[in-house]
Structure 1
Amino acid sequence: MSIDQNQLRLLPSIDELLQSSGGAGLIAQYSRGMTLRAIRAALAQARLDIFNGSTCPSSEQLLAAAEQTLQQVMQPHLRSVINATGVIINTNLGRSPLSQEALQAVQQVAGGYSNLEYDVEAGKRGSRHTHVTALLRELTGAEAALVTNNNAAAVLLALSTLAMGREVIISRGQLVEIGGGFRVPDVMRQSGCLLVEVGTTNRTRVSDYEAALSERSAVLLTVHPSNFVISGFTESTPVAALAELAHRHNLPVMDDLGSGCLLDSAQYGLAHEPMPQESLAAGADVVCFSGDKLLGGPQAGILVGKAEILERIAKNPLMRAMRIDKMTLAALEATLRHYQRDEAAQHIPIWHMIAARPERIASRAARWAHKLQAQGIAARTQRGESTVGGGSLPGETLPTTLLAIDAAGVSPSLDDLARQLRMRNIPIITRILRDTLLLDPRTVLEEQDKEVVLGLIEVLGDGVK
């Protein structure tokens, strides 16, 4: 292919573009260095296009290409999305959204100095944990509490303190993978303890734990299998029975609940999720759970239990590497206050979603469909199911009403439409099932309803068959 050298000669120089009024505007908005790199990229692409037979673009077109590049570069990489998947605690989408009160607490603390590790009354250094320990003791009935940056850290820290170089006894049926390829046995080994598996995948009795006891035993560990269900011919050992055995041999029981639920999930039509306060009442010495799952707060690892044990864990040198930061503490305290005031279902987003009335969800879905139909888009509603997600309450669903857009009514394809919705400035994350694009209002914040409809009209308006 012959290259039209005349077309290449028509390309303006970098300086010409920089010194133009359009270039000056970009420099004022983005800086000279960034504008220079974007213009170079635009010119390089123009040369490639000319080599492939295109004509020389105008200066205005080159500057427009540079501006588009700059806009893409300046787009925050971590940003807000609209979760229309129907998965309430969506791990890939950041798990639990925070309440307005938690957001305000973070802004207030992060925007200036704070009493993070300062005792205002005594006028001397304090502990960062004091901001939430009293609340956690009140809500769970524990003697003491401690917080880390996530639940895996809490497990690692506790086992490192209580069982380094010694044996931890656990049921084979509880050696779970917690997501992202991380497995409980691997976390346990990193703590320096020796793993002793007892029982079978589906049945483990208290006698199995007792048979494994030795002078090297340090902890009896139970892990709640919160992201899968084993049904049928099964048997597990209750915490109370495990505690009775452990305490007869002067050993502690540690219960890793994973999700950590301070409300009775059964009152919302779900299976009962084990609660920290129940585990402690049954005799567990240490209970750990997450802050950003069913608690509905920020990512954190929470330990509650016996004061003597928690004091030992707090002194572990690893505590420094796993400590919680001020912004997380602010959000966690504000979240716990909702439970203290018995307002979790009204103020914590995930519980507001779980508790949402079916007729309210149906009304929102119908309103979306009506507005789309008015634009000539073949949208309808259908019954469906929402899931809790986040490795919590596996197999449990909540009835919902979905907005549905069938493949027969759009062009070119549902996969392409789903991608276009994801690529918006405010991405809308949907799901596709049986040739139908589905959006669940349950997981869409109500203030996002207008943006959902607008996004669908933008993307689907030109694709209606």
Structure 2
Amino acid sequence: MADPGDLRPIASVDRMLKTPDVTALIELHGRALVTEELRCLLSEIRQAVRDGDAMPNEGDVFASLLSRLDYRSRSNLRPLFNLTGTVLHTNLGRALLAEEAIAAAVDAMREAAALELDLDTGRRGERDGHLRALVCELTGAEDATVVNNNAAAVLIALATFGEGREAIVSRGELIEIGGAFRMPDIMERAGARLVEVGTTNRTHARDYRKAIRADTALILKVHTSNYRIEGFTAEVAGAELAAIAHEAGVVLLNDLGSGTLVDLSRYGLAGEPTVRDAVAGGADLVTFSGDKLLGGPQAGFIVGRKELIAEINRNPLKRALRLDKIRIAALAATLALYRDPDRLAERLPTLKMLTRPEEDIRQQAERLKPNIAKLLERHGFAVETCRCRSQIGSGALPVDTIPSAGLRIHRKNSGGLEKLAARLRTLRRPIIGRLNDGALILDLRCLGDEVGLLEGITQVATDGLW
């Protein structure tokens, strides 16, 4: 045990800052941060030695400094393994971008770009112009504009046409989604007065017709993407609702939520209403997301009649909600993939993961099981392959799941699963599964890097779980 009164063997801050190893850290992290962490570390070591701890050598001090700097510089917004079974997980960033979109975004970040410059005329252009023609081509709409997410798309559309006037909505479509987004609250913020029609489970055409008055500005149809009412139900289809709205001279705004540009049934998934279907059905405006089923970066699209889109673009809110060049570049590249639907499932990560065959995932689970079981059995865990059900997520097809496979980790004795899950979250590349029915389930539908997963679990098993 070190003499608590003799602290001279502990290196000084100045001396350690001049050592080659610490000099290299300064090049990496900057002098200010290294000096701050070193000063705090040495102060803690001195106090520990006073309290009777052993005197560390200089190598141990450097290792501790390295660990502290690594922790300080590590972002929480870092890549991870999404093994939750939810493909479009809102908390994990939703859609993964296609390589073409990533390359386009990098180019936009690296160089100046003609964001609002018309290269043909040399005059100022519109940033939405980079997307307009492509969106109209894919949806059949007359015009299009884009904002930073679908909530913003609904907000600006309501604010433009419904402020100070009435907006009719079916009671069965007054949705609430994650993050306390409630349609009635959005309507209130937009200045529109909500008029509810029908009942929770049944709304008829006569309900809408009866509610229309001189002060009615629009009818809002909301796709209930994150829940489904079944049984004794009735709703008015978009085309019939469009006829009612046009007969009364009011706007029909159809909010598709997650939205999709292709018929998902062609890929073996449950069908969702497409944007083109909504436009063809007569909706004056259609709103949908860019980062859900579309498979791009976060964005909210508004497509529809040209004169209505022009009015939205004149709303002062548009500037506050507009996209930057990076997302516009990534969106343009993502949308371009839809021109080749035959190769879309292999080029768009969202669709690729959703259409991955169950047998392929099962074989992957069989390959991984022996090594992971061997790593974790020393800590009292058992590992077995299992069948599971993946879901699309982010409110898309809420009651439809996809057959999948994974690994079921459970403890021979009780307890410990929460600690294991917490330890996996501390990795440089965290591993996120789901706790269910006394086990930690790792759904492998979204797993591409088997080697990386094994490396992470090896580190946890070697360094200790708690």
TM-score (norm 1): 0.93
Distance 1:46 1:96 in 2: 46
> Structure 1 residue 396 and structure 2 residue 400: aligned?
yes
Deviates further, 24-33 or 136-145: 24-33
- Equivalent in the alignment of 2:356: 356
Distance 1:255 1:376 in 2: 51
**Pairs aligned (count):** 459
| 3-state SS of 2:398 partner | coil
**Which residue is equivalent to 2:419?**
416
3-state SS in 1 of match to 2:262: coil
RMSD (CA atoms):
2.1
Sequence identity of aligned pairs in percent?
42
1:29-428 to 2 correspondence within 5 Å? 29-50=28-49, 52-342=51-341, 343-373=343-373, 377=377, 378-408=382-412, 413-428=416-431
| C-alpha contact (below 8 Å) 1:175/1:184 kept by paired residues | yes
Q: Does the CA contact (< 8 Å) of 1:431 and 1:439 recur in 2?
A: yes
Q: Provide the rounded CA distance (Å) in 2 between the counterparts of 1:403 and 1:142.
A: 45
Q: Distance in 2 between matches of 1:375 and 1:67?
A: 27
User: How does 1:437-456 map onto structure 2 within 5 Å?
Assistant: 437-444=440-447, 446=448, 448-456=449-457
- Provide the C-alpha distance between the structure 2 equivalents of 1:52 and 1:235, rounded to a whole number of angstroms: 74
Which amino acid letter does the alignment assign opposite residue 412 of structure 2? A
- In 2, the alpha carbon distance for the partners of 1:28 and 1:298 equals 34
In the alignment, residue 243 of structure 1 is paired with which amino acid?
A: A
The structural deviation recorded for 1:221 is 0.3
1:370 is displaced (CA, Å) by: 3.7
Whole-angstrom distance in 1 between the partners of 2:24 and 2:357: 51
Residue 278 of structure 1 and its aligned partner are, at CA, apart by 0.9
CA 1:256/1:23 → structure 2, altered by over 3 Å: closer, same or farther? same
Q: Separation in 1 of the partners of 2:263 and 2:127?
A: 29
Question: What is the CA-CA distance between 1:69 and the residue it aligns to?
Answer: 1.2
Deviations 1:216-264 (A, max 9, x none): 1000001111111112222111111211111111111000110001122
Distance (whole Å) between structure 2 residues aligned to residue 146 and residue 272 of structure 1: 26
**Is the partner of 1:381 in helix, strand or coil?**
strand
Q: 1:7 to 1:239 in 2, by over 3 A?
A: farther
- Does the 8 A contact of 1:270 with 1:397 survive in 2? no
1:462 and 1:81 map into 2 onto residues whose CA distance is 19
Instruction: Determine the structure 2 residue equivalent to 1:432.
Output: 435
Deviation at 1:329, TM superposition (A): 0.8
Q: 1:24 to 1:192 in 2, by over 3 A?
A: same
Q: CA deviation at 1:294?
A: 0.5
DSSP-derived class of the 1:157 partner = helix
CA contact (8 A) 2:222 2:255 kept: yes
Paired residues of 2:435 and 2:441 also in contact (CA < 8 A): yes
Structure 2 residue matching 1:6: 3-state secondary structure: coil
Relative to structure 1, the CA distance from residue 339 to residue 384 in structure 2 (aligned partners, 3 Å threshold; closer, same or farther) is: same
TM superposition shift of 1:385: 0.7
1:302 Cα deviation (Å)? Answer: 0.3
* Deviation readout 1:259-295 (Å, 9 max, x if unpaired): 0011222334433211111111111100000000010
- Cα distance, 1:407 vs structure 2: 1.6
Counterparts of 2:395 and 2:47, CA distance in 1:
49
Q: CA deviation at 1:6?
A: 0.9
Q: Which moved more, 1:83-92 or 1:377-386?
A: 377-386
**Deviations 1:56-111 (Å, cap 9, x if unpaired)?**
33333333222211111111332111111111101100000001111011111221
Distance 1:309 1:393, change over 3 A: same
Would the aligned equivalents of 1:269 and 1:398 in 2 still touch at CA under 8 Å? no
Q: Retained in 1: the 8 A contact 2:101–2:330?
A: yes
Q: Deviations over 1:188-240 (max 9, x none)?
A: 11111111111221111121112211111000001111111112222111111
- SS of the aligned residue for 1:196 comes to strand
CA distance in 2 between counterparts of 1:94 and 1:55 reads: 46
Alpha-carbon shift at residue 22 of structure 1 (Å) = 3.8
Give the Cα separation in 2 of the matches to 1:55 and 1:460: 28
Shift of 1:424: 1.0
In the alignment, residue 426 of structure 2 is paired with which amino acid?
M
- Asked if the contact 2:138–2:276 (Cα under 8 Å) also holds between the matched residues in 1, the reply is yes
Q: How far off its partner does 1:114 sit? A: 1.2
Aligned to 1:457: 458
For each residue in 1:352-378, what CA deviation from the matched residue of structure 2 results, as whole angstroms up to 9, or x when unmatched? 011111221111111112443566855
Aligned counterparts of 2:367 and 2:257: Cα–Cα separation in 1: 38
Which segment is superposed worse, 188-197 or 293-302? Answer: 188-197
**Which amino acid is the alignment partner of residue 352 of structure 1?**
K
**Structure 1 CA distance for aligned equivalents of residues 38 and 150 of structure 2:** 47
Amino acid at match of 1:388: I
Contact kept, 8 Å, 2:202 with 2:234, in 1: the verdict is: yes
Q: Could you tell me how far apart the structure 1 residues matched to 2:34 and 2:372 are?
A: 40
Shift of 1:8: 4.7
Structure 2 unaligned spans of 5+: none
SS of equivalent residue, structure 1 residue 442: coil
